[in-house]
Amino acid sequence: MSTSSSSSSTQGGDSGGGGAELEAGPSSSRSRMRSSNGVWPEPFLEALAVHVAVDASRTIGRLAAAQALFNIFQVCSTWRAISRSDLLWQNLARSIWNVGDLVLRESWREEYVYRHRTAAAFRSRRYEHATLQFVPTDNNDDGLSCRRLALSDHHLAAGFSDGAVRLFHIPTRLHLSTFYPQHRDRLGPFSSAVSGIILFHARLVFATLDGDIHMAAFNGFSPLRRAHLGDVVNDGVLVDFGGCHRWWVGLYAGVPGRAFRIWNGETEELVSVGGRLTDPEAVMGWHMLTELTGIIGRIRVVSGDMAVACTEDRVVVLHLLSLGALEEREEEFQEGIVVGAFDAYNDFAMVPDAQGAAIVRRVGGMEEVCRFTMREGVSFGCMNGGYGVTWGGGVIRVWDIERGQYLYRFRERIGECNALIADERFVAACCDDATIHLWDFGAQ
């Protein structure tokens, strides 16, 4: 890479501390430039590079950060030398791609480049499609309905109406194991249906409509155990469940004033109960135990120790650090919300309404980031850090949620969809014949 040809720039690689010498301008003498500017240390240049790249990602889009970095590295050889700093790429990966751990590549620079290429593939529809197969365990599998999907870097988990959670290894596309909730007396035929899955590292946590929460480490050393015994009579029906390694959050319907239950995900301790979000849906909640009704509500845990939940007419933001006192921020949507197409990722939420519009909002203050108009008939949706994915009429479509633009549709038609999920690399969907489809944008 060549250095800048401007007469106001010089290479400062021999200046002390590995910094760069900043010059005043073409009309100044060389001695004046040295005396007035001195050396810019590497930590300063790294901080500048992070600031410029993050600013570009927030104002233009995450893919724009690469061009901003390229411009910085072209200033001179010393500025280009900071590109070899692993700390720089770690900060960039965390700030732009929200990557907390180095798991996919051997260095932070490789991790950043990989994430950028994957996002670029997402934008240009470069993917590999596969279906995941599993062997039925009994004669009732023909009538199974997939209720939830969860993704991690190397695994996919699918939760079904009979309470089973099937775990797949994504690199090999193999079905690894099936987890069944512990048997106990049920209040209805679907009380053991899976209502939410948390999947991270080698840990699986899932909940069922009756309020039971089970967990297992799928490295072969920890059997499935019940971490929480649900009390559906006093708490209501656990209609959705989500979280991360730090928090578990359950959304309930059926008992007034008990819409949310929050656990510490590390200690499994219950830390908060309350909320009235689902009070109008109490009767619908009880019906879920006996019939597979529509989706009552959604709950998502996002960055900043917050959770965001919705029903068909309201969105509530929870601040999870307020232990013992549930803090809520509520907003009503007169147009109605398509609950199955609602999703949140990092610190953004996609709120599709019944009129065919979808608004992307920043969760903290619910301010609008962008909006786009969907095709009619959208009933499921999900999102990652840069793209929204919707299903309607047998077609999966992708939207740029940084600019509010429609991009393309998937080549494959999958029939009736009953679960849809996306992360930064994959999109997964399950249709009514229990076939699991997987689209991989990171097969590079």
Residue 151 and residue 428 in contact, taking contact as beta carbons nearer than 8 Å: yes
Q: What is the pTM of this model?
A: 0.86
- Cα 238 to chain center, whole Å? 21
Q: What rounded mean pLDDT belongs to the chain?
A: 85
Predicted pLDDT of residue 433: 83
Q: How far from 359 is each of 84, 280, 306, 332, 405, CA to CA, in Å?
A: 39, 24, 19, 13, 12
- Over residues 296-327, the pLDDT tens digits come to 999 999 988 999 999 999 999 999 987 655 66
Does residue 4 surpass a pLDDT of 50?
A: no
Predicted pLDDT of residue 415: 87
* 125-440: CATH class: mainly beta
- The two tokens of residue 386 are 């840069």
In single-letter form, the type of residue at position 389 comes to V
The residues pairing with 57 across neighbouring beta strands, listed in sequence order, are: none
Does residue 119 surpass a pLDDT of 90?
A: yes
Task: Please name the residue that has the structure tokens 């209502």.
Answer: 195
Predicted pLDDT of residue 18: 34
Burial of 318 (0-12, 13-18, 19+ CB in 10 A): buried
Strand (E) or helix (H) holding 169: strand 165-169
DSSP secondary structure string for all residues of 287-353: HTTTS------EEEEETTTEEEEE-SSEEEEEETTSTTS-EEEEEE-TT-B-GGG-EEETTEEEEEB
Distance CA 317, CA 299 (A): 10
Residue 188 and residue 290 in contact, taking contact as beta carbons nearer than 8 Å: yes
Q: How far from 55 is each of 34, 48, 51, 65, 348, CA to CA, in Å?
A: 30, 11, 6, 8, 17
Residue 150 and residue 438 in contact, taking contact as beta carbons nearer than 8 Å: no
Distance CA 235, CA 249 (A): 14
In single-letter form, the type of residue at position 86 comes to D
Does residue 39 surpass a pLDDT of 60?
A: no
Average pLDDT over residues 379-403: 94
Does residue 79 surpass a pLDDT of 50?
A: yes
Domain boundaries along the sequence of the chain: 16-123, 125-440
